[in-house]
Structure 1
Protein backbone atom coordinates (compact mmCIF):
# COMPACT_ATOMS: atom_id res chain seq x y z
CA UNK A 1 0.00 0.00 0.00
CA UNK A 2 1.40 3.40 -0.94
CA UNK A 3 1.13 6.09 1.67
CA UNK A 4 1.32 9.85 1.30
CA UNK A 5 3.70 11.81 3.48
CA UNK A 6 2.13 15.15 2.57
CA UNK A 7 -0.47 15.37 5.34
CA UNK A 8 -3.22 15.08 2.76
CA UNK A 9 -6.69 14.69 4.32
CA UNK A 10 -8.82 14.85 1.18
CA UNK A 11 -12.19 13.19 1.73
CA UNK A 12 -11.68 12.90 5.49
CA UNK A 13 -13.82 14.29 8.29
CA UNK A 14 -12.24 15.75 11.41
CA UNK A 15 -13.77 16.79 14.72
CA UNK A 16 -11.95 19.33 16.89
CA UNK A 17 -13.09 20.21 20.40
CA UNK A 18 -12.10 23.58 21.74
CA UNK A 19 -11.96 24.51 18.07
CA UNK A 20 -13.32 28.04 18.18
CA UNK A 21 -10.01 29.77 18.96
CA UNK A 22 -6.31 29.34 19.60
CA UNK A 23 -4.69 26.01 18.85
CA UNK A 24 -8.02 24.34 18.08
CA UNK A 25 -8.95 26.91 15.46
CA UNK A 26 -5.49 26.70 13.88
CA UNK A 27 -5.70 22.90 13.62
CA UNK A 28 -9.25 23.00 12.25
CA UNK A 29 -8.29 25.43 9.50
CA UNK A 30 -5.15 23.43 8.77
CA UNK A 31 -7.24 20.29 8.33
CA UNK A 32 -9.61 22.15 6.00
CA UNK A 33 -6.70 23.40 3.89
CA UNK A 34 -5.54 19.78 3.65
CA UNK A 35 -8.93 18.77 2.22
CA UNK A 36 -10.95 17.71 5.26
CA UNK A 37 -14.45 18.69 6.29
CA UNK A 38 -14.40 19.76 9.92
CA UNK A 39 -16.78 19.78 12.88
CA UNK A 40 -16.00 22.50 15.43
CA UNK A 41 -17.14 22.01 19.01
CA UNK A 42 -16.89 24.41 21.93
CA UNK A 43 -19.07 25.86 24.67
CA UNK A 44 -19.85 29.05 22.77
CA UNK A 45 -21.67 28.37 19.51
CA UNK A 46 -20.96 31.79 18.00
CA UNK A 47 -17.22 31.16 18.07
CA UNK A 48 -17.69 27.80 16.37
CA UNK A 49 -19.89 29.36 13.70
CA UNK A 50 -17.21 31.96 12.96
CA UNK A 51 -14.63 29.23 12.34
CA UNK A 52 -17.09 27.29 10.16
CA UNK A 53 -17.37 30.38 7.94
CA UNK A 54 -13.59 30.34 7.57
CA UNK A 55 -13.68 26.64 6.72
CA UNK A 56 -16.37 27.19 4.10
CA UNK A 57 -14.31 30.03 2.61
CA UNK A 58 -11.62 27.40 2.03
CA UNK A 59 -14.09 25.32 0.02
CA UNK A 60 -14.78 22.70 2.69
CA UNK A 61 -17.86 21.87 4.75
CA UNK A 62 -18.12 22.66 8.44
CA UNK A 63 -20.33 21.96 11.42
CA UNK A 64 -20.62 24.20 14.48
CA UNK A 65 -21.71 22.48 17.68
CA UNK A 66 -22.06 23.72 21.25
CA UNK A 67 -20.88 21.23 23.85
CA UNK A 68 -19.64 21.11 27.42
CA UNK A 69 -16.53 18.94 27.32
CA UNK A 70 -17.31 17.16 30.60
CA UNK A 71 -20.93 16.23 29.85
CA UNK A 72 -20.97 12.75 28.38
CA UNK A 73 -24.48 12.93 26.96
CA UNK A 74 -23.52 16.05 24.99
CA UNK A 75 -20.38 14.34 23.70
CA UNK A 76 -22.48 11.39 22.53
CA UNK A 77 -24.75 13.81 20.67
CA UNK A 78 -21.70 15.52 19.15
CA UNK A 79 -20.45 12.26 17.63
CA UNK A 80 -23.91 11.49 16.28
CA UNK A 81 -24.32 14.98 14.83
CA UNK A 82 -20.94 14.80 13.10
CA UNK A 83 -21.64 11.40 11.57
CA UNK A 84 -25.13 12.51 10.54
CA UNK A 85 -23.80 15.68 8.88
CA UNK A 86 -20.86 14.14 7.05
CA UNK A 87 -21.57 10.41 6.93
CA UNK A 88 -18.27 9.47 8.55
CA UNK A 89 -15.70 10.44 11.19
CA UNK A 90 -11.99 9.92 10.58
CA UNK A 91 -10.10 12.16 12.99
CA UNK A 92 -10.92 13.36 16.50
CA UNK A 93 -8.83 16.00 18.24
CA UNK A 94 -9.42 16.27 21.99
CA UNK A 95 -8.27 19.86 22.38
CA UNK A 96 -10.80 21.31 24.84
CA UNK A 97 -9.29 21.84 28.27
CA UNK A 98 -9.61 23.97 31.37
CA UNK A 99 -7.32 25.44 33.99
CA UNK A 100 -9.61 27.75 35.96
CA UNK A 101 -7.16 28.55 38.73
CA UNK A 102 -3.45 28.09 39.28
CA UNK A 103 -2.42 27.41 42.84
CA UNK A 104 -0.89 24.97 45.30
CA UNK A 105 -2.15 21.42 45.55
CA UNK A 106 -3.58 22.02 49.03
CA UNK A 107 -6.11 24.33 47.35
CA UNK A 108 -6.77 21.99 44.42
CA UNK A 109 -9.25 19.54 45.92
CA UNK A 110 -13.01 19.18 45.85
CA UNK A 111 -14.99 20.95 43.14
CA UNK A 112 -11.90 22.39 41.43
CA UNK A 113 -10.37 18.94 41.08
CA UNK A 114 -13.62 17.53 39.72
CA UNK A 115 -13.92 20.33 37.16
CA UNK A 116 -10.36 20.05 35.84
CA UNK A 117 -10.36 16.27 35.66
CA UNK A 118 -13.89 16.24 34.23
CA UNK A 119 -12.95 18.45 31.28
CA UNK A 120 -9.34 17.33 30.81
CA UNK A 121 -9.65 13.57 31.45
CA UNK A 122 -13.20 12.21 31.68
CA UNK A 123 -14.50 14.12 28.67
CA UNK A 124 -11.63 13.27 26.30
CA UNK A 125 -11.78 9.60 27.29
CA UNK A 126 -15.53 9.46 26.67
CA UNK A 127 -15.38 11.26 23.34
CA UNK A 128 -12.45 9.18 22.12
CA UNK A 129 -14.17 5.94 23.12
CA UNK A 130 -17.43 6.79 21.37
CA UNK A 131 -15.64 8.05 18.27
CA UNK A 132 -13.33 5.04 18.13
CA UNK A 133 -16.31 2.70 18.16
CA UNK A 134 -17.76 4.50 15.15
CA UNK A 135 -14.36 4.55 13.43
CA UNK A 136 -13.97 0.82 13.98
CA UNK A 137 -17.21 0.19 12.12
CA UNK A 138 -15.85 2.17 9.15
CA UNK A 139 -12.40 0.58 9.05
CA UNK A 140 -10.37 2.82 11.35
CA UNK A 141 -9.39 6.36 12.21
CA UNK A 142 -7.23 8.63 14.31
CA UNK A 143 -7.49 10.16 17.77
CA UNK A 144 -5.22 13.03 18.80
CA UNK A 145 -5.19 14.01 22.47
CA UNK A 146 -3.76 17.47 23.11
CA UNK A 147 -1.83 17.42 26.37
CA UNK A 148 1.00 19.77 27.38
CA UNK A 149 4.75 19.85 27.74
CA UNK A 150 3.99 20.30 31.44
CA UNK A 151 2.75 16.71 31.59
CA UNK A 152 6.42 15.73 31.43
CA UNK A 153 7.78 18.68 33.41
CA UNK A 154 5.13 19.76 35.92
CA UNK A 155 5.73 22.77 38.10
CA UNK A 156 4.45 24.38 41.29
CA UNK A 157 1.09 26.04 40.95
CA UNK A 158 0.11 23.98 37.92
CA UNK A 159 -0.04 20.56 39.55
CA UNK A 160 -3.73 19.97 38.92
CA UNK A 161 -3.58 20.96 35.24
CA UNK A 162 -0.30 19.17 34.50
CA UNK A 163 -1.35 16.00 36.31
CA UNK A 164 -4.64 15.89 34.40
CA UNK A 165 -2.73 16.10 31.13
CA UNK A 166 -0.31 13.40 32.31
CA UNK A 167 -3.35 11.24 33.01
CA UNK A 168 -4.62 11.87 29.49
CA UNK A 169 -1.23 10.83 28.11
CA UNK A 170 -1.42 7.58 30.11
CA UNK A 171 -4.87 7.01 28.65
CA UNK A 172 -3.46 7.72 25.19
CA UNK A 173 -1.01 4.84 25.64
CA UNK A 174 -3.78 2.47 26.71
CA UNK A 175 -6.17 3.62 23.96
CA UNK A 176 -3.45 2.88 21.41
CA UNK A 177 -2.99 -0.62 22.75
CA UNK A 178 -6.67 -1.47 23.08
CA UNK A 179 -7.84 0.04 19.78
CA UNK A 180 -5.03 -1.06 17.47
CA UNK A 181 -7.09 -4.06 16.40
CA UNK A 182 -9.76 -1.59 15.24
CA UNK A 183 -7.18 0.22 13.08
CA UNK A 184 -7.58 3.29 15.28
CA UNK A 185 -4.31 5.08 15.99
CA UNK A 186 -4.04 7.27 19.09
CA UNK A 187 -1.28 9.80 19.75
CA UNK A 188 -0.77 12.93 21.81
CA UNK A 189 0.36 16.45 20.98
CA UNK A 190 2.24 18.19 23.78
CA UNK A 191 2.51 21.93 23.10
CA UNK A 192 4.79 24.19 25.05
CA UNK A 193 4.39 27.99 25.10
CA UNK A 194 2.06 29.21 22.34
CA UNK A 195 0.59 32.69 21.96
CA UNK A 196 -2.99 31.74 22.77
CA UNK A 197 -5.59 33.89 24.51
CA UNK A 198 -4.48 32.36 27.82
CA UNK A 199 -0.88 33.37 27.17
CA UNK A 200 -1.93 36.86 26.10
CA UNK A 201 -3.92 37.18 29.30
CA UNK A 202 -0.77 36.46 31.29
CA UNK A 203 1.00 39.38 29.62
CA UNK A 204 -0.21 41.62 32.44
CA UNK A 205 2.03 39.75 34.87
CA UNK A 206 5.29 41.71 35.00
CA UNK A 207 8.12 39.83 33.33
CA UNK A 208 6.07 36.68 32.66
CA UNK A 209 6.30 36.56 28.86
CA UNK A 210 10.03 37.27 28.94
CA UNK A 211 10.51 34.47 31.47
CA UNK A 212 8.61 32.10 29.18
CA UNK A 213 10.72 33.13 26.19
CA UNK A 214 13.94 32.53 28.13
CA UNK A 215 12.75 29.05 29.12
CA UNK A 216 13.07 27.82 25.51
CA UNK A 217 16.23 27.35 23.51
CA UNK A 218 14.54 29.21 20.63
CA UNK A 219 13.88 32.21 22.92
CA UNK A 220 10.38 32.89 21.65
CA UNK A 221 6.74 31.95 22.06
CA UNK A 222 5.16 30.07 19.15
CA UNK A 223 2.16 31.17 17.11
CA UNK A 224 -0.83 28.75 16.96
CA UNK A 225 -0.19 27.96 13.27
CA UNK A 226 3.13 26.39 14.26
CA UNK A 227 1.28 23.41 15.75
CA UNK A 228 -0.56 22.62 12.52
CA UNK A 229 2.21 20.65 10.81
CA UNK A 230 2.49 18.24 13.73
CA UNK A 231 -1.29 17.85 13.89
CA UNK A 232 -1.48 17.10 10.16
CA UNK A 233 1.29 14.54 10.52
CA UNK A 234 -0.59 12.69 13.26
CA UNK A 235 -3.96 12.97 11.49
CA UNK A 236 -2.72 11.64 8.16
CA UNK A 237 -1.20 8.47 6.76
CA UNK A 238 2.20 10.16 7.09
CA UNK A 239 2.19 8.73 10.63
CA UNK A 240 0.66 5.37 9.68
CA UNK A 241 3.08 3.35 11.86
CA UNK A 242 2.89 5.64 14.89
CA UNK A 243 0.56 5.09 17.84
CA UNK A 244 0.70 5.57 21.59
CA UNK A 245 3.30 8.33 21.35
CA UNK A 246 3.57 12.04 22.12
CA UNK A 247 4.97 14.78 19.92
CA UNK A 248 6.42 17.54 22.08
CA UNK A 249 6.28 20.92 20.32
CA UNK A 250 7.83 23.32 22.82
CA UNK A 251 10.69 25.24 21.23
CA UNK A 252 13.19 23.22 23.24
CA UNK A 253 12.17 23.84 26.86
CA UNK A 254 15.32 24.03 28.95
CA UNK A 255 15.72 21.39 31.68
Structure 2
Protein backbone atom coordinates (compact mmCIF):
# COMPACT_ATOMS: atom_id res chain seq x y z
CA UNK A 1 0.00 0.00 0.00
CA UNK A 2 1.30 3.43 -0.90
CA UNK A 3 0.04 6.97 -1.38
CA UNK A 4 -1.52 7.27 2.09
CA UNK A 5 -1.71 10.97 2.80
CA UNK A 6 -0.82 11.65 6.42
CA UNK A 7 -0.32 15.37 5.93
CA UNK A 8 -3.40 17.36 6.87
CA UNK A 9 -4.16 20.76 8.31
CA UNK A 10 -4.06 21.04 12.10
CA UNK A 11 -7.75 20.33 12.43
CA UNK A 12 -7.32 19.00 15.99
CA UNK A 13 -5.07 21.81 17.20
CA UNK A 14 -5.39 22.35 20.93
CA UNK A 15 -7.37 19.16 21.55
CA UNK A 16 -6.19 16.75 24.24
CA UNK A 17 -6.59 13.08 23.41
CA UNK A 18 -6.17 10.01 25.61
CA UNK A 19 -5.60 6.74 23.75
CA UNK A 20 -5.47 3.39 25.53
CA UNK A 21 -3.22 0.55 24.34
CA UNK A 22 -1.44 2.99 22.08
CA UNK A 23 2.24 2.09 21.93
CA UNK A 24 1.99 -0.12 18.84
CA UNK A 25 -0.44 -1.32 16.21
CA UNK A 26 -3.74 0.44 15.67
CA UNK A 27 -3.54 2.42 18.93
CA UNK A 28 -0.14 3.90 18.10
CA UNK A 29 -1.22 4.70 14.55
CA UNK A 30 -4.26 6.56 15.85
CA UNK A 31 -2.22 8.48 18.43
CA UNK A 32 0.35 9.44 15.81
CA UNK A 33 -2.27 10.61 13.32
CA UNK A 34 -4.14 12.71 15.88
CA UNK A 35 -0.88 14.28 17.02
CA UNK A 36 0.04 14.94 13.38
CA UNK A 37 -3.29 16.72 13.04
CA UNK A 38 -2.42 19.01 15.92
CA UNK A 39 -3.66 17.24 19.05
CA UNK A 40 -1.79 16.73 22.29
CA UNK A 41 -1.87 12.98 22.87
CA UNK A 42 -1.42 10.80 25.94
CA UNK A 43 -0.35 7.27 25.05
CA UNK A 44 -0.44 4.29 27.36
CA UNK A 45 0.51 0.65 27.72
CA UNK A 46 0.80 -1.92 30.46
CA UNK A 47 4.60 -1.88 30.00
CA UNK A 48 6.75 1.14 30.78
CA UNK A 49 9.37 0.27 28.15
CA UNK A 50 6.68 0.35 25.47
CA UNK A 51 5.49 3.77 26.64
CA UNK A 52 9.03 5.14 26.53
CA UNK A 53 9.63 3.77 23.03
CA UNK A 54 6.35 5.19 21.70
CA UNK A 55 7.16 8.61 23.17
CA UNK A 56 10.64 8.48 21.64
CA UNK A 57 9.10 7.94 18.21
CA UNK A 58 6.39 10.57 18.56
CA UNK A 59 8.57 13.27 20.06
CA UNK A 60 11.28 12.44 17.56
CA UNK A 61 8.88 13.66 14.88
CA UNK A 62 8.16 16.85 16.79
CA UNK A 63 4.72 15.71 17.95
CA UNK A 64 3.11 16.70 21.26
CA UNK A 65 2.84 13.58 23.40
CA UNK A 66 3.08 12.29 26.94
CA UNK A 67 2.74 8.74 28.18
CA UNK A 68 1.83 6.68 31.21
CA UNK A 69 1.63 3.04 32.23
CA UNK A 70 -2.01 1.95 32.30
CA UNK A 71 -3.68 -1.42 32.72
CA UNK A 72 -7.25 -0.48 31.84
CA UNK A 73 -8.72 -3.01 34.28
CA UNK A 74 -7.07 -1.20 37.23
CA UNK A 75 -8.97 1.78 38.64
CA UNK A 76 -5.82 3.46 39.93
CA UNK A 77 -4.17 3.21 36.51
CA UNK A 78 -7.19 4.73 34.78
CA UNK A 79 -7.18 7.59 37.29
CA UNK A 80 -3.47 8.21 36.66
CA UNK A 81 -4.05 8.16 32.91
CA UNK A 82 -6.59 10.97 33.13
CA UNK A 83 -4.76 12.97 35.77
CA UNK A 84 -1.62 12.88 33.62
CA UNK A 85 -3.53 14.34 30.68
CA UNK A 86 -4.90 17.14 32.85
CA UNK A 87 -1.55 17.84 34.49
CA UNK A 88 0.42 17.90 31.23
CA UNK A 89 -2.11 19.45 28.86
CA UNK A 90 -4.81 21.11 30.97
CA UNK A 91 -7.80 18.89 30.28
CA UNK A 92 -9.28 16.14 28.12
CA UNK A 93 -11.36 16.49 24.94
CA UNK A 94 -11.25 13.04 23.40
CA UNK A 95 -11.03 9.44 24.60
CA UNK A 96 -10.04 6.62 22.25
CA UNK A 97 -10.74 3.27 23.92
CA UNK A 98 -8.59 0.77 22.04
CA UNK A 99 -7.40 -1.76 24.64
CA UNK A 100 -8.44 -5.34 23.97
CA UNK A 101 -7.50 -8.87 24.98
CA UNK A 102 -7.99 -12.27 23.41
CA UNK A 103 -6.22 -14.92 25.49
CA UNK A 104 -7.88 -17.87 23.76
CA UNK A 105 -8.93 -19.18 20.37
CA UNK A 106 -11.96 -21.26 19.51
CA UNK A 107 -15.76 -21.32 19.26
CA UNK A 108 -17.71 -19.12 21.67
CA UNK A 109 -19.30 -21.93 23.66
CA UNK A 110 -15.95 -23.63 24.20
CA UNK A 111 -14.57 -20.59 26.03
CA UNK A 112 -13.71 -21.15 29.68
CA UNK A 113 -15.65 -18.98 32.12
CA UNK A 114 -12.49 -17.39 33.53
CA UNK A 115 -11.29 -16.50 30.03
CA UNK A 116 -14.74 -15.13 29.12
CA UNK A 117 -14.58 -12.90 32.21
CA UNK A 118 -11.12 -11.61 31.30
CA UNK A 119 -12.14 -10.81 27.71
CA UNK A 120 -15.21 -8.90 28.81
CA UNK A 121 -13.36 -7.16 31.65
CA UNK A 122 -10.84 -5.66 29.21
CA UNK A 123 -12.82 -5.34 26.00
CA UNK A 124 -16.14 -4.09 27.35
CA UNK A 125 -16.17 -3.29 31.07
CA UNK A 126 -12.96 -1.23 30.90
CA UNK A 127 -14.33 0.72 27.92
CA UNK A 128 -17.47 1.47 29.94
CA UNK A 129 -15.49 2.49 33.04
CA UNK A 130 -13.07 4.66 31.05
CA UNK A 131 -16.03 6.46 29.48
CA UNK A 132 -17.76 6.94 32.82
CA UNK A 133 -14.60 8.25 34.48
CA UNK A 134 -13.55 10.60 31.68
CA UNK A 135 -16.95 12.31 31.48
CA UNK A 136 -16.31 15.03 34.09
CA UNK A 137 -13.17 16.10 32.22
CA UNK A 138 -14.82 16.21 28.79
CA UNK A 139 -17.88 18.01 30.16
CA UNK A 140 -15.60 20.61 31.70
CA UNK A 141 -14.30 21.37 28.20
CA UNK A 142 -17.84 21.90 26.91
CA UNK A 143 -18.00 18.66 24.96
CA UNK A 144 -15.84 16.32 22.92
CA UNK A 145 -15.70 12.79 21.58
CA UNK A 146 -15.41 9.19 22.68
CA UNK A 147 -14.39 6.54 20.16
CA UNK A 148 -14.40 2.78 20.73
CA UNK A 149 -12.36 0.43 18.60
CA UNK A 150 -14.46 -2.63 17.82
CA UNK A 151 -13.81 -5.09 14.97
CA UNK A 152 -15.32 -6.57 11.81
CA UNK A 153 -15.93 -9.71 13.90
CA UNK A 154 -18.40 -7.68 15.94
CA UNK A 155 -20.63 -7.92 12.85
CA UNK A 156 -19.52 -11.28 11.46
CA UNK A 157 -18.15 -13.54 14.23
CA UNK A 158 -15.07 -15.60 13.54
CA UNK A 159 -15.24 -19.12 14.98
CA UNK A 160 -11.60 -18.85 16.09
CA UNK A 161 -12.41 -15.62 17.95
CA UNK A 162 -15.72 -16.61 19.50
CA UNK A 163 -15.83 -14.78 22.82
CA UNK A 164 -13.75 -11.90 21.46
CA UNK A 165 -16.29 -11.47 18.65
CA UNK A 166 -19.17 -11.22 21.11
CA UNK A 167 -17.29 -8.63 23.21
CA UNK A 168 -16.76 -6.54 20.09
CA UNK A 169 -20.47 -6.79 19.23
CA UNK A 170 -21.25 -5.48 22.70
CA UNK A 171 -19.16 -2.37 21.97
CA UNK A 172 -21.52 -1.55 19.11
CA UNK A 173 -24.37 -1.48 21.62
CA UNK A 174 -22.39 0.61 24.10
CA UNK A 175 -21.74 3.11 21.31
CA UNK A 176 -25.46 3.46 20.56
CA UNK A 177 -26.53 3.73 24.21
CA UNK A 178 -23.81 6.16 25.31
CA UNK A 179 -24.35 8.36 22.24
CA UNK A 180 -28.01 8.83 23.16
CA UNK A 181 -27.17 9.63 26.78
CA UNK A 182 -24.40 12.13 26.01
CA UNK A 183 -25.75 14.00 22.99
CA UNK A 184 -27.20 16.75 25.17
CA UNK A 185 -23.74 17.28 26.69
CA UNK A 186 -22.23 17.90 23.24
CA UNK A 187 -20.28 14.63 23.50
CA UNK A 188 -20.28 12.47 20.41
CA UNK A 189 -19.75 8.71 20.75
CA UNK A 190 -18.72 6.65 17.74
CA UNK A 191 -16.98 3.40 16.91
CA UNK A 192 -14.46 2.06 14.40
CA UNK A 193 -14.67 -1.57 13.26
CA UNK A 194 -11.40 -2.50 11.55
CA UNK A 195 -11.09 -5.49 9.27
CA UNK A 196 -7.83 -7.44 9.23
CA UNK A 197 -5.06 -4.96 9.98
CA UNK A 198 -1.39 -5.93 9.70
CA UNK A 199 -0.41 -5.84 13.37
CA UNK A 200 1.15 -8.23 15.85
CA UNK A 201 -2.35 -9.04 17.12
CA UNK A 202 -3.54 -10.27 13.73
CA UNK A 203 -0.36 -12.14 12.76
CA UNK A 204 -2.10 -15.56 12.70
CA UNK A 205 -3.96 -14.33 9.60
CA UNK A 206 -0.79 -13.66 7.62
CA UNK A 207 2.10 -15.44 9.35
CA UNK A 208 2.20 -18.00 6.55
CA UNK A 209 1.15 -17.94 2.89
CA UNK A 210 -1.76 -20.35 3.22
CA UNK A 211 -3.29 -18.43 6.13
CA UNK A 212 -2.92 -15.17 4.24
CA UNK A 213 -4.49 -16.62 1.09
CA UNK A 214 -7.53 -17.78 3.07
CA UNK A 215 -7.90 -14.38 4.73
CA UNK A 216 -7.55 -12.46 1.46
CA UNK A 217 -10.39 -14.47 -0.10
CA UNK A 218 -12.75 -12.59 2.25
CA UNK A 219 -11.39 -9.13 1.39
CA UNK A 220 -12.62 -7.66 -1.91
CA UNK A 221 -9.74 -5.18 -1.97
CA UNK A 222 -7.40 -8.19 -1.80
CA UNK A 223 -5.08 -6.76 0.82
CA UNK A 224 -4.96 -6.28 4.55
CA UNK A 225 -5.14 -2.82 6.07
CA UNK A 226 -2.22 -0.86 7.43
CA UNK A 227 -2.58 0.56 10.97
CA UNK A 228 -2.38 4.16 9.74
CA UNK A 229 -5.55 3.64 7.71
CA UNK A 230 -7.41 3.44 11.02
CA UNK A 231 -5.78 6.69 12.13
CA UNK A 232 -7.38 8.68 9.35
CA UNK A 233 -10.86 7.46 10.28
CA UNK A 234 -10.29 8.27 13.95
CA UNK A 235 -9.08 11.76 13.07
CA UNK A 236 -12.19 12.35 10.98
CA UNK A 237 -14.52 11.20 13.78
CA UNK A 238 -12.73 13.45 16.31
CA UNK A 239 -12.88 16.50 14.08
CA UNK A 240 -15.52 19.08 13.25
CA UNK A 241 -15.90 17.32 9.90
CA UNK A 242 -17.93 14.73 11.85
CA UNK A 243 -19.79 17.27 14.00
CA UNK A 244 -23.21 15.74 13.25
CA UNK A 245 -22.17 12.09 13.54
CA UNK A 246 -22.83 10.20 16.78
CA UNK A 247 -23.87 6.67 17.66
CA UNK A 248 -22.34 5.28 14.48
CA UNK A 249 -19.83 2.57 13.65
CA UNK A 250 -17.56 3.02 10.64
CA UNK A 251 -16.46 -0.30 9.17
CA UNK A 252 -12.93 -0.11 7.73
CA UNK A 253 -12.51 -3.56 6.25
CA UNK A 254 -11.60 -3.34 2.56
CA UNK A 255 -15.10 -4.54 1.70
CA UNK A 256 -15.37 -7.55 4.03
CA UNK A 257 -18.93 -8.58 4.80
CA UNK A 258 -20.43 -6.61 7.66
CA UNK A 259 -24.04 -5.44 7.27
CA UNK A 260 -26.61 -4.08 4.85
Q: What is the TM-score of this pair, normalised by structure 1?
A: 0.93
**Equivalent residues, number:** 251
Q: How does 1:1-255 map to 2 (within 5 A)?
A: 8-204=11-207, 207-254=210-257
CA contact (8 A) 2:156 2:257 kept: no
Residues 168-187 of structure 1 show CA distances to partners (whole Å, capped at 9, x for unaligned) of 11011111111111111100
Which 4+ runs in 1 deviate beyond 3 A? 201-206
Which segment is superposed worse, 59-68 or 187-196? 59-68
The residue aligned with 2:4 is: none
Unaligned runs of 5+ in 1: none
* CA distance in structure 2 between the aligned counterparts of 1:6 and 1:172, rounded to whole angstroms: 28
Residues 85-108 of structure 1 show CA distances to partners (whole Å, capped at 9, x for unaligned) of 111111111011011111123331
Alignment RMSD: 1.7
Q: 1:47: Cα distance to partner?
A: 1.2
CA contact (8 A) 2:93 2:137 kept: no
Unaligned runs of 5+ in 2: 1-7
3-state SS of 1:11 partner: coil
* CA distance in structure 1 between the aligned counterparts of 2:126 and 2:212, rounded to whole angstroms: 31
Which segment is superposed worse, 230-239 or 49-58? 49-58
Q: What is the TM-score of this pair, normalised by structure 2?
A: 0.91
3-state SS of 1:197 partner: coil
Which segment is superposed worse, 19-28 or 54-63? 54-63
* CA distance in structure 2 between the aligned counterparts of 1:106 and 1:26, rounded to whole angstroms: 33
